Amino acid sequence: MSTRAQVRFATREEGVSFSEHPKIIHAQFYVHHDGYPEGLGVEIAESLTKYQKIMHWEIEELFARHGDLEYIYYVWQHPMKTTWISIFEEKYNEDLTKSDKCIFVGEPSNLIEKYKLNTNANG
């Protein structure tokens, strides 16, 4: 089963919380699989900190919405300020209503620290 996600880009603005969906985004990409924080989240953070390329992104219209997303990422940028990332987890409740919860807010290095899988000799 695929873990679908959208990555959206927003401008850091005074008074706009990183733990809420922004009203204005500037671009968004759809990712059909591996959208979980340990996969896509780490790829985004490493792209921002280590300049690594990210594969398999599809550029979308700004107002495209998918009913099967599991995660939405926001990359918050502004000239002369550090970049931050927010991750929202999309879930269906028992009554089949959809809800989301902000599960991460921080700089790319914090995301790598929290979600990158430990692949050393000890596991």
φ and ψ of 43, to 5 deg? -60, -45
121 domain residue, yes or no: no
68 domain residue, yes or no: yes
122 domain residue, yes or no: no
Strand partners, 103: none
22 domain residue, yes or no: yes
123 domain residue, yes or no: no
Residue 60's Cβ-side half-sphere holds a number of Cα atoms within 13 Å equal to 19
Per-residue pLDDT of the chain (123 residues; tens, 9 = 90+): 689 999 999 999 889 999 999 989 999 999 988 999 999 999 999 999 988 888 878 778 888 877 788 999 999 999 889 999 999 998 877 777 778 899 999 999 999 999 997 655 555
Q: 69: domain range?
A: 5-115
Element (H, E) at 74: strand 71-77
101 domain residue, yes or no: yes
Match 């300049």 to its residue by tokens. 51
What's the number of domains the chain is made of? 1
pLDDT of residue 68: 83
